[in-house]
Each structure stands twice: as structure tokens, then as C-alpha cells.
Amino acid sequence: MTEKLFTRLSEAPIVPLVQSNDPEEAVAVSKALLGGGLQVLEVVLRTEAAFDCLNAITNAFPKALVGAGTVLSAKHAEQAIEAGAKFIVSPGLNEGVVAMAKKHDLPILPGIATATELQTAWNMGLRTVKFFPAGLAGGPKMLKALSSVFRDVRFMPTGGVNAENLMDYLDIPAVVACGGSWLTPMEAIQKRDFQAIEELSRQALNIQNREK
Ligand code: 3PG
């Protein structure tokens, strides 16, 4: 599964967040993101119906690679995996979450923001992490400093990434993908303007392809 995730990310290295309390809406948002060319989605566990949304999306789009984000505990990781998550993302580093993902042989990207946190993750055998909150934790400069020391680690910066600074991160060789909510603005979702979401996905991929 890890290699499958990296293959998809090498084709479209952008991971949009899907946050919804309504499975039907979550499917519509996902359809727009996939329609815009993205292949990997992160459904965040921040609403009561998050697991139902995750389940609905994985059923509706069996070819997409759909993971769970904001996974705070081993129990939530287990529930997310039951709902169809194919990878797990956390804002921080938690042994129980890592162990649950490993038990199911799924990629786990825990959040790290400091060298000490990264070294702890590295000693747990992890080689891919989320850099969070990227903008506040030092941005591309901090990421370059970390990757110059931890040479075999790949990063997914998330938190404050947008169309303007996307390439500042993606240009760093250790960056495997960027994550974020800029592709799924609440205003567009409230207005059910799914076309706008599809357009934002397409634009992000165009930015990335242009500078390849
Ligand atoms: C996350 O959960 O990864 C962050 O909340 C995303 O941050 P953003 O909203 O700034 O993209």
C-alpha cells in the first residue's frame, strides 16, 4: 500500500482535505477533486459523520486512494480503517496510532514540527511524515533544514499551504506531496459550487506540472 500511495503522489502530489458532516456532500466534494485530476484524498475526522463520509467516499470511488486525517487515537485509526481508509494521517506523533496503522500494513504519516519529534518518528521506523503546521513551524526553510539532516525521510507539508506557496514546498526534493484545505473552501461547499473545487484542483495540478 505504501508504494501505491507514493506512485499516486508522484503523479499528483497534492492531498486535499475533505471535511464534511454529510456523506452526500462529501461524495460531491470528492467527485470534484477527482474530476480536477487529484488521486489521493484525506478525509478529516473532525465531524460527527466523518466515518460515514469516509465510508461513502471509499464506496463511491473505489479507484481513488482515500485516507483518514486528524486521526488522534488508535481507536479512531481502527474505526477509520474499518470505514475504508487506505492511509492514516495525524497532526502529531502517537505510538498507538502508528501501531494500529502498522498492524493493518497501512502508511502512517504522523505530524512532526521539530527535530526531536522527527528523530522520535525516525526511531519508530517511520520514513514519511507530515510537517505540520508547515507555515508556522518554519515553512520551506525549516523543512530544508530538517531534510538535510534526516536524509532518508520524505515529508508532506500541511498547514498554511496554498496555490501561492505550493511550489516553494514541492521544489524541495524530500517533499512527496503537499496537503491542505485550500482546495476545499467552506464558502464553495456551502454554496454547493463544486465546479469551483474542481477548478481549484485543476489549477493546483497545472501549477505543479508547469514547473516540472
Ligand atoms: C491539517 O489538518 O492538515 C490542517 O488543518 C490543514 O491546514 P490548512 O487548513 O492550512 O490547509
Q: What tens digit of pLDDT does each residue of 122-150 get? A: 999 999 999 999 999 999 999 999 999 99
Does residue 212 sit within a domain? no
Please tell me the residue having the least CA distance from ligand 1 atom 3.
Answer: 158
Report which ligand 1 atom has the smallest distance to the Cα of 111: 3
pLDDT band at 212 (very low <50, low <70, confident <90, very high): low
* Residue 211 included in any domain: no
Does residue 93 fall inside a structural domain?
yes
210 occurs within a structural domain: no
Measured in Å, residue 52 CA sits from the centre of ligand 1 at 21
Q: Residue 162 falls within a domain, yes or no? A: yes
Cβ contacts of 140 within 8 Å, gap of 6 or more: 157, 165, 168, 169, 172
Given this model, what pLDDT does residue 35 score?
97
44, 129, 158, 161, best to mutate for ligand 1 pocket (most atoms within 8 Å of CB)? 158
Residue 209 lies in a domain: no
In three-state secondary structure terms, 152 is coil
Contact 63, 30 (CB under 8 A): no
What is the model's pLDDT at position 124? 97
C-alpha 4 to ligand 1 mean position (Å)? 24
22 is in which domain, residue-wise? 2-203
User: What are the residue numbers of the active site?
Assistant: 42, 130
Is the CB of residue 54 less than 8 Å from the CB of residue 82? no
Residue whose CA is at the smallest distance from ligand 1 atom 5 = 159
In a domain, 208, yes or no: no
For residue range 50-70, what is the model confidence (pLDDT) as tens digits? 999 999 999 999 999 999 999
CA gap 108, 10 in Å, rounded: 17
User: 172 CA distance to ligand 1 centroid (A)?
Assistant: 20
Dist. CA 81–CA 70, nearest whole Å: 13
* Tens-place pLDDT, residues 143-199: 999 999 999 999 999 999 999 999 999 999 999 999 999 999 999 999 999 999 999
Check which CATH number belongs to the domain holding 117 and give it.
3.20.20.70
Q: How many domains does the chain have?
A: 1
Write down the mean pLDDT value for the chain. Answer: 96
Residue 68 in domain:
yes
Query: Ligand 1 centroid to 180 CA: how many Å?
Result: 5
Ligand 1 atom 4 nearest Cα:
159
